[in-house]
Structure 1
């Protein structure tokens, strides 16, 4: 299996997050050590998990695409991505710290990542979009079929109303930051694996403001943010599948220095249905059929997501036989058309008989009804049913 994460999952570099997650689930089922006969299944399964972890994290994926596989792996070994977005080690905290050259050949890469991706460090240095937030939401199959508007309550950081996100009370005494002389920025010249780099970053002492304040806001304790509970209205599109993610723009964490909010990413979980099983856009249903109905044929009422429809059960229907109702499955997400509904006949053997029924069945047996022929495809049908 190739080392490249995109090739590991069998997706293109332009693949969406949903496509990556779908590819991961398929590969994980194929190479899970508990079910796979592949002698290298455990190693491949670990690589699949690693690929998914990196490619579904916006910041890690951006770094991976920028650096390439080998350099990204080296950076990971140096501890450069401990804890994902927002989880890099700060100054003096490891090989990606801002101070000194300790930590090997990647010891000064943290500031380069800040320049490329606007990460870490605590400095502001101009408007920046806030980080994305993630949450989950469960819907039932009916909502996934028809589409729905659901309410979602989350707790998220918001700009402090008392200091307007500044972290200090209005009118607080201040002084010019001695580290940057009021510029809000500092310039460093570094020798990196990519050559000599001159980099300007936000001053960490004053967080890019150029000014130090004597007081901090008592509400947010100088952080500029408070956590509040809020209720949002979420549009569930018809046809959404389990595990897919909805994006609500500008409903994430607040930006810095007047930057826009991040986005809210909602992973949707579709609850199991008591009657229908879903596979992609198709639905599956088991229809109980009595012995006389299977022998003589009948018309039965079959439930669908839009109400009952009639299904013709032909004479001689065998248990396990499948009938297809075209266009009665799930809507195709953001496309025209629907999947199909597959109805599997399940012939029910009566558990008790009255005297009249018993006599009739005995007469049937005496007339030769006990002779049973099994067609060649019977066992294959049984295997497929499982």
Structure 2
């Protein structure tokens, strides 16, 4: 893969908002499901965004420590020179994995970890009985996926495109929360020397909703009502995660009054029990108060003055 900045068409000084905007614009244009889509181009776009949207990966790439094609760390530029000039080099000091500053993801760390564990780079371990082949474990591939609020709460079966361009069919269980990890067996990257594929492990981030929020199995919403609906009561439509329902507002309701819609919360996938939805009423005055309302209030307050802060004992 080429330079991620070049792929997204942004400058190296671009901020997170610019990077995200560039990714969305290109993703909409080249998504494989579209008629004008381009799977290879989309794969490069998502790979570039995966690096530049992660501050840690971005910093490593900017320092030349991250390979954009594999997403793996590179050995530092002074790797061998720095060690050969160190006090340990050439003095018969037994080197260790830590001497080389490697991480578990690069070829050097793999080699020296094997050496420390009595296993050579060819995958053989030394034993008294002789050499025995050490089976390599097929690694999982980790992904991150953003899921709309309603899809995460109700659950859905959908076809998604992962960050490397891989398209998979997956089931998102009802009640899925941010941080949930879903495993797709055999859907990871191909391990070429084994001819096998690992699992895809997908970590979910649930997107915020415009007006719903969630706590456990319960859904919460602030509901604006008019002054006359609060005073006289009314039957109004209220949004739920299942669609709109009719809710009766009692007379003399106030801002902060909470009503409950039983069984309109999040379903629990294991036992199918439902949470509730809680509606917090918020009285909203009209954006522009006309002269008629002003005159009414002036007349009304002369005989109906009250102090809503009386219980606070403010003097």
When normalised by structure 2's length, the TM-score is 0.57
CA distance in 2, matches of 1:233, 1:78: 41
Q: Deviations over 1:208-239 (max 9, x none)?
A: xxxxxxxxxxxxxxxxxxxxx53211211121
Gaps of 5+ in 2: 1-95, 125-132
Corresponding position: 1:338 with 2:274: yes
8 A contact 2:103–2:109 mirrored in 1 = no
Corresponding position: 1:319 with 2:270: no
8 A contact 1:136–1:268 mirrored in 2 = yes
The aligned residue for residue 141 of structure 1 is 149
Q: Structure 1 residue 152: deviation in Å?
A: 2.9
Distance change >3 Å, CA 292–CA 281, structure 1 → 2: same
The aligned residue for residue 286 of structure 2 is 350
Distance change >3 Å, CA 88–CA 298, structure 1 → 2: farther
Q: Structure 1 residue 241: deviation in Å?
A: 0.9
The aligned residue for residue 238 of structure 1 is 174
When normalised by structure 1's length, the TM-score is 0.47
Distance change >3 Å, CA 357–CA 81, structure 1 → 2: same
CA distance in 1, matches of 2:307, 2:288: 22
The aligned residue for residue 280 of structure 1 is 216
Q: Deviations over 1:308-358 (max 9, x none)?
A: 122222222221222222221122243321222111110112343333322
How do 1:70-219 and structure 2 match up within 5 A?
78=98, 83-84=103-104, 89-91=109-111, 93=112, 96=113, 98=115, 108=116, 110-111=117-118, 121-123=121-123, 125=133, 128-154=136-162
8 A contact 2:143–2:163 mirrored in 1 = no
Q: Structure 1 residue 79: deviation in Å?
A: 7.2
Q: Which has the higher contact order (CA 8 A, sep 6+)?
A: 1
How large is the Cα RMSD of the aligned pairs?
A: 3.4
Corresponding position: 1:270 with 2:278: no
Corresponding position: 1:372 with 2:307: yes
The aligned residue for residue 160 of structure 1 is none
Q: Deviations over 1:229-264 (max 9, x none)?
A: 532112111211122110001222345775753211
The aligned residue for residue 302 of structure 1 is 238
How do 1:2-21 and structure 2 match up within 5 A?
none
Gaps of 5+ in 1: 1-75, 99-107, 115-119, 157-228, 380-386
Distance change >3 Å, CA 231–CA 335, structure 1 → 2: same
User: Number of residue pairs matched?
Assistant: 211
CA distance in 1, matches of 2:136, 2:300: 82
Secondary structure, aligned partner of 2:166: strand
8 A contact 2:225–2:283 mirrored in 1 = yes
How do 1:48-59 and structure 2 match up within 5 A?
none
CA distance in 2, matches of 1:239, 1:321: 27
